[in-house]
Structure formats: C-alpha cells, structure tokens
Structure 1
Amino acid sequence: MSFPARVRPPIGLILILGSMAALPAVTTDLYLPSMPEVVRELETTETLVHATITGVLIGGAIGQLITGPISDRYGRRRPVMVGVAIHCVASLLCVFAPEIFSLLALRVIQGIGNATATVTAMAVIRDRYTGAGASVLMSRLMLVIGVAPLLAPTAGGLIADIWHWRATFVALAIMGVLLMVFIFFGLRESLPPERRQPGGLRPALGGYKRLVTDGRFMALAVMPGLGMAVIIAYVAASPFVMQQDFGLSETQFALAFAANGAGLIIASQLNASLANRVSPLAIIRVTAPLTVALGIWLLIAAGAEAPGEFDLGAMLTLMVPLFLMLSSASMLMPNTVALALSRYGERAGSAASVVGSLQAGLAGGIALLVGAVGGGHAGAADMAVVMLGSSVVALVILAIATPAYRRRRV
C-alpha cells in the first residue's frame, strides 16, 4: 500500500464526523462527576453504577452490528438519523429512571442509538479515504473526540450542581438534536446507490462470515477495543479513585480529567503528523510495547497507599504515568482501525460495525473487571492492573497475528 505525502481532509467534514464519533464519549463523560451521587440517591452499589458506563458500551456493540449492514444497504445518512433520534428519546427517559436497573436498561438503549453515529463516521471515512488518508482523518477526529474529556465532566458537574444529575441527560438529548441538524444539512451521502450491497439477512450474515473468518482483519479489529479498554478502565474508575481515594473535589477531578484529555489530543495530532510520513503499521510497532512499559510504571505508582485526602505529590506520582499511558494507548486506535478497514472498502459499513462493536464490547466488558478486581471498590491498583492487562494482550496479538514484527511485512 502506498501512502500519500500529505493529506488534508476538509475542516467541516472533520467537525461533523468528529461530533458523530464523540457522541458515545460525551454520553459517558458528561455523567462521570455524578456517579458517587447516583450511588447515594439510588441506594445502590459502585459496581452497578460502573455498569451504567458499561451499558452504553454494550449497547454500542449491539447497535454497531445492526447498523453496519443497514448502512451498506441504504446509505449512511438515513440510519444515523434514526439512531441519533433513539439516543435522544432514551436520554429523556433516563431523566425519570426510578432506580438503577431501569437507568441501566436505558443506558444500553442510548448506546444502541448512538452507535449508529460511530459506525457511520468510520464508514464515511472508508468511503472517501484509505491508508494514511484514513489514519490522518481518524487522528483529526481524535482532536474533536478529545474535547469531550476536556469539557464534558466540567459541564456535567456544573449542570448537576445547578440543577440535578438527571439534568445531564436533558443536555445529552439536546446535543443529539443538534447533531441531527448538523448531519441533515452538512453531511452528504458518501455511498451512491450503485455501490450499495443487496438487502436481506443472508447477504448481511455472509458479509459478517467473510469478515470474522479473516484472521488478519480480526486481529486488527480487536486491537482498537483493547486500546479503548485501557481508556475506559480509567474512565470507569477515575471518579472513585480521584475523589474518594485521593481526596479531589469535583472541580479538581474535572481538571485532572481534562489534563488527561489534553494528552489524548496531543497524541492524536502527533499521530496525524506521523501518518503523513510513516505507515500506520510502523506507528503501532512502537506504541504497543511503549503502552505496556508505561502500564508497568503506572502499576508501580498505583501500588502506593492512597492518602485519602488531597496530596499534590501523591496525585502527581499517579498522574504522570497515567497521562503518558493513556496518550500512548490512544495512538493504537486510529492506526489499527485504518488498517482493518482498508481491507474491505466494498463493505465499509459492515467492517466498521465489527471493529466498532468489538471496540465497545471489549472495552465495556473489561471495564467491569475494574470493580470486580477491587471487590466492589475500584482502587488505583485495580485500575492499573486492568489497563496493563489490556495493553499486554494487545501487544501479544500484534506480535502473533499480524506481520508487524516479521521481517517480511505485507
């Protein structure tokens, strides 16, 4: 595969696709500062509140598998409009959830709805770009997605302080409506009728069979999920680790979360710059083992006893390796996604749905381990164990199931 010397996707396309791809992240992050309050008000456990994060991801995995073949058959615009509308309705119903299990069910439905935005964003990229072009655009999307950790927890905390934690779901519904307006007026159809796949269950299942029996594709498709698992393990545990174990206030937590979000932005832009010079595979060969090394450093730092109150030195000891590991892990995702999708341009929607569902499903399932490892309360060491384990598995898959470290690479 050849890689163009310079790729500059249109700014408008980046903003629209980035907003679509960021919808699940915003759905997760806006709610984060409220999680300890949800535990108290709904009289439930930390594990079940963690599950409301996982529910969005599991719903996303289901929704993406449904959306992929539909978007290959009917185009990109109509499925995403329906899916975001489902997200809006589910968000409004969350406002009235009387207990944790109904909230959990509605969060799954939210995930199913906003999954269409993620699949469509990836499929549009593959419709228009391949190779380094796709990697550059996905890295630029990370710039937009990275704004969610910078702004969403702060905005969510302010909304909860002024009104109530349930008001964050009203905000999510409003965001969904605005996104539908942007898509309707700003995103043209990227899959013309002559390139669409025939309809019906049999062709859809046949397309999935072809994808899941391609070992190289599946290896590349699993790796974004493991990279996302590193990030989601941090997201799920951070409100409890930072606010309860390290004594951060809601404002301090939002600032710490924003700092790590800035790391994702910096890493994504570094990746976009590198993708114009070297192949995505070359970037992965370096970042995968680097993430493991940083995970070991994080685990050592997390092994120290939590102070239980704010201590700047203790916080920085944890934050530095955490910042670096999250930044490194974030560079795995755009490159592995670009390589996976480059193999199936004619089924970009289905391929994107497999990649996306694995990403959401693996991240959601692994995030549940954070609470399980900690016996109900996720501490810094529990978080670090799950993050390191995910990065080690990613490196093993890269080494065994892809040609990344072989002398002859294809």
Structure 2
Amino acid sequence: MTSTVDAPARRTAPPQITAGLLVTLALLSAVAPFATDLYLPAFPQMVDDLHTSPTNVQLTLTAFLLGLAAGQLVFGPLSDRYGRVKPLVFGAAVCVLASVVAVVAPTIEVLVAARLAQGLTGAAGMVIGRAIISDLATGRAAARAFSLMMIVGGIAPIAAPLAGGFLVQPLGWRGALAVILALVVAMLVAALVVIRETHTEERRATLRANRATEGSPLRDLARREYLGHLVTFGFAFAVMMGYISASPFVYQTMMGLSSAQYGAMFGVNACGLLAMSAASARLAARVEPRRLAGVGLAIIVTASIAVLTLAVSGVPAGWLALPLFFSVAGMGLVFGNTTALALSAAPRAAGTASALLGATQFGLAAVVSPLVGLGGEHTATPLGIAMVCAATVAVLGFAAARR
C-alpha cells in the first residue's frame, strides 16, 4: 500500500531547479551563440565553394539573427498557452531538420533559408529556458539561477570562435555546420529527456479562471517593474554589443594587437563577466537582486564614461583596455538579476515576458552594432558615445522600475 501511494507522489512531485536542470537550460541557450560564431572562420571557404559573394555569405548570419529575434516572439507566447515542453520539443525538432538542410545546402539561397529557419526554431530553447526558471523561482532564488546559467552559457561566446578556428581547417564549413547540427540534436534530446513541464495544464487553467478577477496575464507586461527592468536589461546588453562590435578595431587597429592577442584580450574580458556572474550567484542568497544590479550599473556607467573620456582626450589607445574590462565585467551583476526582476514582475505571462526580453536584446544589438563604426576604425569616440547613451538609458529604466 505504501509503495502504491508513494510512487505516484514521486511522479507528480513539482520540478526543482537542480544543477542538472540549470546546466541543461544553459546549454539550450548556448546553441544560439555557437550557431552564430562557430562557422565564421569558414566564410572565405563558403564564398569559393558556393560561387557567391561575401555579402551573400554574410546574409547567412543576418538571416539567423533575424530568425532568432522573431522566433522568441513566437515561442514565448506559445509556451504560455500550451506549456513549456511541447513548443520546446517542436522547435528543437524543426531546428534539427533546418540544420540538416544547412549542412547539405547546394546553393547560397538554400543555405540562407535554412539558417533563417534555424534561428526561428532555435530560439525556442533560449526563450523557454528563461520561462522555466521563472515558473520555478522568483526573487533571490531566480536571480541566483539566472546568474548560474550565465556562467555556463557565458562560456559559449568564448569557446565558439576558438573552436571554429580549429574545426574549419580540417572539417570545412559543412563540417562546422554539422557540429551545430549535433548541438541542436542534443537540444532535442534534452527537451525530451531532461525538461519536465513547469507550466502545467492545471496552472494554465487556474490563470484562465482568474482572468475575470485579475485580468489578462498580459496586463503584467505593462507593469512599471517589468518595463523598467526590460529597458535596463536591453540597454545594458546594447553597451556590451557596442563593445563586441568595435573590439576588433579597438584592439587590433588602434592598439596594434595581433589576432591572437586580440583573442586573448577578448577572453580576459569574458572571464571578468563570468567571474562577476559567479559572484552574483554567490551573493544572491543574502543580497537583494536589485541592489546587485544597481552596483553593476554603477560599474558600467563609470566605465562607459571613462571610455568616452579617454577616446576624446587623445591618450594612447591602450588606456581603453581597463575601462572596457570593467564595462564587460559589470554585466555579470546586471544580466541575471534584471532578468529575474523582470520575469518576477510578470509571472502569469513568463513566456511572453521572456520573449520580449530576447527581442529587445537582439533588436537593440542590431541598432548599436553599426553605430560604433561611424567614425572609422581609428577612433573609439563613437563607441564611447554609444556606451554612455545606452548605459544612461539603462539607469533611467532601472530608476523607473522602482515600486
């Protein structure tokens, strides 16, 4: 009798944020940066093999990023309506098919279409992963979980370019895309084996029943706490995207570093981000997420002002390395905590709220990236201006989000 009662209880126990779940969700989010960066060293090969132009090859990246932004707006609301697992499995399955087509694409047109589909469906893991954590935790627990996710997921932007440089030579561009296919297959397996439903039918039914008294869950998205932290997250990411876009010119053209030295500097800054994310996760148990995010914003604003001041003062470019390091490291206190604060403000529509975070993130990144190069490759002044402006808007959003 005891085993008969206990077995169903074990099967119906609510999912918990375990280390395995965090690693799995981080890997789901890491598929996107790997799919973005892993094959970049193969662009010259692709031009020759597909008999096309560099501009057309660049379109394969643009199509993927556009799909990634749009896909989050699709899969976020779907996960609110149908649960987290079904849209995740569907997205991962279609992404596997799109990845197969990308590997065997006979023409650049087919490859661009496959990459667009890959981005649209690959976005499911990124947006639904955030929603799953929001289903299971709020406040400090959510902030710690998002910060820990950043430690795992943050390795991908560092590892992907390095891995691509080693893989492209022996495997070619199709081999690099085959590695991405393997990662997408792993995403599908994880969705089927590891991820359990956190937005259950009972939970969705309760939300529907409460609409008469509490209003639509989408009303949460208009709350000042959500919108303010959405702005903070998006414009803080714009600061980092400005740095990423300008970094090859700042480190190589202005500072005179080699490509290997540039990679090392990029890695050092990324390690600063990971270290600060780890510190944020450790402190989350006893410090409020908003206070941690405030400290991170103060670091980012100070570093951004320093970058602009040094850029216009005409001092040697090497002086820029220090404030750039701190501007990136400060993100480790901002990203996880503002994500937690934003999604905690809209718990009834976590999937849609997560989708808007992602769409804002990549939309602002697309705007900022070309702006930092307006002055040419021998000045960091446009970078400094973009960083200060974006950091200022992030602070204003943070102030507006206060209850």
TM-score range, shorter chain: 0.7 to 0.9
Q: Residue type matched to 1:152 in 2?
A: A
C-alpha contact (below 8 Å) 1:35/1:239 kept by paired residues: no
Matching residue of 2:235: 226
Matching residue of 2:247: 238
Matching residue of 2:398: 398
Distance in 2 (alpha carbons) for counterparts of 1:58 and 1:280: 31
Post-superposition Cα deviations, 1:207-251, rounded to whole Å, max 9, x if no partner, equal 585244333321211221112222222333334544555554444
Report the Cα offset of residue 78 of structure 1.
1.8
Post-superposition Cα deviations, 1:19-44, rounded to whole Å, max 9, x if no partner, equal 11222222233245556887999544
Residues 219/362 of structure 1: CA separation in 2 closer, same or farther (3 Å cut): same
Post-superposition Cα deviations, 1:55-79, rounded to whole Å, max 9, x if no partner, equal 5443222111111121122211121
Q: Which of 78, 82, 106 is the equivalent residue of 1:74?
A: 82
Establish whether residue 186 from structure 1 lines up as the match of residue 182 from structure 2.
Answer: no
C-alpha contact (below 8 Å) 2:69/2:362 kept by paired residues: yes
Distance in 2 (alpha carbons) for counterparts of 1:354 and 1:215: 15
Matching residue of 1:168: 176
Q: Residue type matched to 1:344 in 2?
A: A
- Corresponding pairs, count: 380
Distance in 2 (alpha carbons) for counterparts of 1:176 and 1:335: 28
Report matched runs for 1:25-64 at 5 Å. 25-33=33-41, 43-44=53-54, 49=58, 55-64=63-72
Q: Which of 159, 168, 175 is the equivalent residue of 2:167?
A: 159
Q: Residue type matched to 1:390 in 2?
A: A
Distance in 2 (alpha carbons) for counterparts of 1:350 and 1:166: 35
Matching residue of 2:10: none
Q: Residue type matched to 2:131 in 1?
A: A
Q: Which of 190, 210, 214 is the equivalent residue of 2:223?
A: 214
Distance in 2 (alpha carbons) for counterparts of 1:197 and 1:108: 34
Post-superposition Cα deviations, 1:271-320, rounded to whole Å, max 9, x if no partner, equal 112221111111222221321110122234455889xxxxxx95x53332
Report matched runs for 1:54-133 at 5 Å. 55-95=63-103, 96=105, 98=107, 106-133=114-141
Residues 319/114 of structure 1: CA separation in 2 closer, same or farther (3 Å cut): farther
SS in 1 for 2:196: coil
Q: Which of 277, 285, 291 is the equivalent residue of 2:286?
A: 277
Residues 257/149 of structure 1: CA separation in 2 closer, same or farther (3 Å cut): farther
Report matched runs for 1:126-145 at 5 Å. 126-145=134-153
Establish whether residue 195 from structure 1 lines up as the match of residue 194 from structure 2.
Answer: no
Matching residue of 1:254: 263
Q: Residue type matched to 1:284 in 2?
A: A
C-alpha contact (below 8 Å) 2:71/2:119 kept by paired residues: yes
Residues 256/18 of structure 1: CA separation in 2 closer, same or farther (3 Å cut): same
Residues 30/252 of structure 1: CA separation in 2 closer, same or farther (3 Å cut): farther
Report matched runs for 1:207-356 at 5 Å. 210-243=219-252, 245-302=254-311, 317-356=319-358
Q: Which of 363, 366, 374 is the equivalent residue of 2:365?
A: 363
C-alpha contact (below 8 Å) 2:276/2:329 kept by paired residues: yes
Distance in 1 (alpha carbons) for counterparts of 2:43 and 2:338: 32
Distance in 1 (alpha carbons) for counterparts of 2:100 and 2:251: 29
Residues 150/24 of structure 1: CA separation in 2 closer, same or farther (3 Å cut): same
SS in 2 for 1:196: helix
Distance in 2 (alpha carbons) for counterparts of 1:105 and 1:239: 29
Distance in 2 (alpha carbons) for counterparts of 1:211 and 1:343: 7
Distance in 2 (alpha carbons) for counterparts of 1:164 and 1:243: 26
Matching residue of 2:7: none
Report the Cα offset of residue 352 of structure 1.
1.5
C-alpha contact (below 8 Å) 1:29/1:148 kept by paired residues: no
C-alpha contact (below 8 Å) 1:207/1:347 kept by paired residues: no
Structure 2 residue runs without a partner (length 5+) = 1-15
Residues 164/370 of structure 1: CA separation in 2 closer, same or farther (3 Å cut): farther
Distance in 2 (alpha carbons) for counterparts of 1:299 and 1:32: 30
Larger Rg: 2
Q: Higher helix share goes to which structure?
A: 2
C-alpha contact (below 8 Å) 2:75/2:127 kept by paired residues: yes
